Amino acid sequence: MQAPIKYKDVEVAGRKFRIKKFSARVGSFMILKLTTILAPLFSSFKVDPNVKSPEDIEIGDINITGIMNQLTNISEKDFNYIQEQALRVCFEHLPAGLSPVLNENGTFGVEDLEDNTAAVMALTVHALAFNLTSFFQESGLQGLVADLISSRQG
């Protein structure tokens, strides 16, 4: 049995970061929270339920306006929670070692990120993808996605 991967190193804005795993409690809640938020997005897809891979989805089958409308429904409180939890598992590689992107009090722990929206969003996406993608790929939730897509096409 292969040991689970505990971290991933990424480069964002020319800087090197380490993304670590969520605690099991945070990860569990994030799955519930994101599933609740993202499930309505599937109503914006008009995709054949037999599609096996995201690469097989045609861009014309995606209602971009519908996706944007759903994303704007995320409350600021939910967004802040998700982003804060994602950034708490991010660390920058510095000469003295790994430095947390966010301090315990929620302030930035590394320089030049507090006003770099693109870098902060990139780190957020990396952290969410690293922590949650395997859950949706390795679990029985693949069927959930197919069910959501097909139930929204009626």
> What is the domain partition of the chain in residue ranges?
14-151
Q: H helices of 72-116, where?
A: 76-87
What's the pTM value of the predicted model, to 2 decimals?
0.71
pLDDT in tens, 79-127: 899 899 999 999 999 999 999 999 999 999 999 999 999 999 999 988 9
Q: Alpha helices, DSSP H only, in 39-100?
A: 64-71, 76-87
Confidence of residue 144 (pLDDT cuts 50, 70, 90): very low
